[in-house]
Amino acid sequence: MQLHAAVSICVLIAGPVPATGAETAAGSSAFGTESVGSPDGYADELIQRQRVLGLSRSAEWSSLLHLRKLPLRAAQSEADGPDFFFAPQGKIDPDAELEATLRAFAGPPVVEDDPQAVPGDTRTRVGTQHPQCRFPARYAYLKIALTIDGQRLPEQPCPRFQEFRRRVDPGGATLIFAAAYVNHPASAFGHTLLRLDRRSAPGLPLLGYAVNFSAVPTTSNGVLYALGGLTGRFRGFFSLLPYYLKVKEYADLESRDLWEYPLNLTQEQVDQMLRHIWELGSTWFDYWFLDENCSYHLLSLIEVAVPGTHLRETFPLWTLPVDTLKALRAVPGLLGEVRRRPSLDTRLKARRQALSKPEARLAHELAETDAAAVSTPLAALPPVRQAAVIDTALDLAQLQLGEAAADEQVAAAMQLRLVQLRGSILLPSADPRIESPFSPDAAHPGALALLGGGSRSGAAFASILLRGVLHDLVSAVAGEMPNQQMEMMRLELRLPLGAPSLSIWEFRLLRIESLDPFDAWTPRIAWRFGTGFVRERLGGPELRMWELRGGPALAYEPWGQLVYAVAETQIALGPDFADAARVRLQPTAGFVLRPSDLFRLRFEGAALWDPSDTVRPLLTAEQAFNLGARWQLRTSASWSRNDWTAQASAGAYF
């Protein structure tokens, strides 16, 4: 499923949406300055009381307004929709917004046009609800904090919100982490969402509702989409939809494991979170891929439920979904025991491993051909083994159907025949035995700093390496993506010891490698891509260039080690080339030895072929000693004709 399509579905079922200009005008006549305030001046009395208490500076009010303190600037709300505020300067003045809110709450009753509300109902408009009903979380907080007298400021009936709450029926909340999926840029770092578990359906999480924050892209162009996400050009909205749809999207269609982290919240905290989710239907947020993203804004919901946790403050520069798990884990008692919901692909691999080789071949044939063609060897198996084979074939057929098989009708018909065949065996399906790896919050932090030195062709140097995010193939894999590498903002500075002059040795903006081993059951293309500034000397003067390199790959995993080959091409631009550019083929082969998370070794050999030059060899090696999830010792070496480098460094993730 393409991201823009998935996001569009979320928007269609989003909660109360921002009003149009006409609707805002209509709403202002209902509870604007001409109609707010109580006859006995009770609103003024409440305003004076809140000034004494300083409620506008409280953690509760800050979280309800999504206030954020920026360097050299006063705190202001991250919400960008104007209908989220009553005061003209409410975005930047929390005191004025609180006073305007109290005056609005004291306004006359409003008859709601349509009391029927369902989760995700888009018909709610500003003018159809009383302010108390539009902002029930604000009202619930102020009612207790100011001990509001219900006789002097009557609590308004809110049939739309009450019907919404009845249908969602929240009894608990669970944070969901969808594992990273590097084959889709928007999911390369994973994704988080919240699940509201229903009180009336304990133990049935699929019947809950998923709370999601996502961007609404205005383009389907991949380059423009990336630029828009990096520069905050898209609006982000909260949405609410049945959780089973998200399970279908992530676990079945994208083969991503889901990790479930129950939140230890009281019923009142869950209720306050739901009230605020309703309020967020009246606004949007500028979406920033690196910081104000899906995971960052979900933290604001938890801050509303548990004021004073200041979760967003721990992410001043960028927000990685996996790092938000660590921030939540750092709050004592907030997270419960993590549970894993394996993806369809994970379940299929587990079922396949439980079969003998002949049974596995039979299951593959069942999913690829007419069941009647293999009926004889299948009938020769005991009923319990027949069930195991058919269950495996069913998972494979479902996976192929989800990955858009060449003929979906044929795939669906095959799946139906397998279901009918499975129904003839009156034995329950055995749950596949799935080994539970480390949970995502056990992963090392994304940023890395290394300090070291080495020698290049006999000339000694000191070096500093800084990497923004996230993971490489010699790092500890606990909690990370196996066979995947995702590096952004990798900067190496070198200082020659003989002639002190600090210089940029390399600046790699991006380097991605997806080296999943080839599997005939679920064939996927391995690949790698990178771009950035590098220096090169292969015999002759040193060349400075900005390169784009990458290509398709083929990978295998014999005895648990990774072996791969890449048909790589380099396009380089730089002032040291005669024509300012160069295109070079460089087929590459390599392997990664990984006896344990403590030690990893990667070796590569490449043949660099320039049409105007001869073929030149290039050998590189890199090894890392991973001392827990934070500290690392690393050595590397490279050799080509007339140039070699050896280097050692030590550092930490942060």
Task: Please give the span between the terminal C-alpha atoms of the chain, in angstroms, as a whole number.
Answer: 34
| Integer Cα distance of 329 and 254 in angstroms | 27
Non-local (6+) Cβ contacts of 183 within 8 A are 514, 524
Per-residue pLDDT for 149 more than 80? yes
> What pLDDT, on a 0 to 100 scale, did the predictor assign at position 416?
86
Tell me which residue has tokens 């500034």. Answer: 533
> What pLDDT, on a 0 to 100 scale, did the predictor assign at position 186?
58
CA distances, 592 to each of 51, 221, 602, 604 (Å): 63, 35, 4, 9
Give the distance, in angstroms, between the CA of residue 141 and the centroid of all CA atoms in the same chain.
31
Tell me which residue has tokens 């954020």. Answer: 68
> In the numeric block, which tokens belong to residue 94?
């929390």
30 or 565: which carries more pLDDT confidence? 565
Non-local (6+) Cβ contacts of 400 within 8 A are 367, 411, 522
| Integer Cα distance of 301 and 131 in angstroms | 20
> What pLDDT, on a 0 to 100 scale, did the predictor assign at position 12?
29
Give the distance, in angstroms, between the CA of residue 539 and the centroid of all CA atoms in the same chain.
44
Least confident window among 44-53, 90-99, 478-487: 478-487
Phi, psi of 309 (to 5 degrees): -75, -25
The backbone region for 530, taken as left when phi is positive above 0, alpha when psi lies in -120 to 50, beta otherwise, is: beta
Stated length of the chain = 654
Mean pLDDT of 195-222: 91
> What pLDDT, on a 0 to 100 scale, did the predictor assign at position 26?
32
| Integer Cα distance of 415 and 395 in angstroms | 9
In terms of DSSP H, where are the helices of 369-407?
Answer: 375-379, 383-402
- Residues 585-613: tens digit of each pLDDT: 999 999 999 998 889 999 999 999 887 77
| Integer Cα distance of 250 and 258 in angstroms | 8
Pairing of strands 562-566, 588-593: antiparallel
List, as one string, the DSSP characters of 518-560: P-SSS---EEEEEEEEEEE-SSSS-EEEEEEEEEEEEEE-GGG
> How would residue 85 be classed by pLDDT, with cut points 50, 70 and 90?
very high
| Integer Cα distance of 125 and 302 in angstroms | 26
Phi, psi of 622 (to 5 degrees): -150, 135
Q: Is 101:86 a contact under the CB 8 Å cutoff?
A: yes
> What pLDDT, on a 0 to 100 scale, did the predictor assign at position 121?
53
In terms of DSSP H, where are the helices of 113-200?
Answer: 131-134, 136-145, 159-168
From the number of C-beta atoms within 10 Å of its C-beta (0-12, 13-18, 19+), residue 535 rates as middle
Mean pLDDT of 319-326: 90
> How would residue 371 be classed by pLDDT, with cut points 50, 70 and 90?
low
- Residues 58-67: tens digit of each pLDDT: 999 999 999 9
> What pLDDT, on a 0 to 100 scale, did the predictor assign at position 113?
67
What's the whole-number average pLDDT of the chain?
86
The DSSP code for 57 is G
- Residues 114-140: tens digit of each pLDDT: 555 555 554 444 558 999 999 999 999
**Three-class SS state of 4:** helix
Mean pLDDT of 624-653: 93
Neighbours of 12 (CB within 10 A): 11
> In the numeric block, which tokens belong to residue 578?
């005669």
Give the distance, in angstroms, between the CA of residue 120 and the centroid of all CA atoms in the same chain.
22
199 or 35: which carries more pLDDT confidence? 199
Q: Does the predicted TM-score (pTM) go above 0.75?
A: yes
Phi, psi of 139 (to 5 degrees): -65, -40
Largest CA distance in the chain: 92
CA atoms within 13 A on the CB side of 487: 22
- Residues 425-476: tens digit of each pLDDT: 999 998 898 887 788 988 888 899 999 999 999 999 999 999 988 889 999 8
10 or 634: which carries more pLDDT confidence? 634
Mean pLDDT of 101-108: 93
Q: Is 98:92 a contact under the CB 8 Å cutoff?
A: no
**Three-class SS state of 643:** strand
Per-residue pLDDT for 369 more than 70? yes
Per-residue pLDDT for 304 more than 80? yes
> How would residue 39 be classed by pLDDT, with cut points 50, 70 and 90?
very low
| Integer Cα distance of 28 and 330 in angstroms | 44
28 or 438: which carries more pLDDT confidence? 438
Per-residue pLDDT for 30 more than 60? no
Neighbours of 608 (CB within 10 A): 20
> What pLDDT, on a 0 to 100 scale, did the predictor assign at position 442?
86
Is the Cα torsion angle 592, 593, 595, 598 positive or negative in sign?
A: negative
Tell me which residue has tokens 């784009």. Answer: 548
180 or 168: which carries more pLDDT confidence? 168
**Three-class SS state of 562:** strand
Least confident window among 413-417, 599-603, 633-637: 413-417
- Residues 491-524: tens digit of each pLDDT: 999 999 987 788 999 999 999 999 999 998 988 8
| Integer Cα distance of 284 and 17 in angstroms | 9
Rounded (to 5) percent helix, strand, coil in the chain:
35, 30, 35
**Three-class SS state of 647:** strand
From the number of C-beta atoms within 10 Å of its C-beta (0-12, 13-18, 19+), residue 26 rates as middle
Per-residue pLDDT for 157 more than 50? yes
Mean pLDDT of 640-654: 92
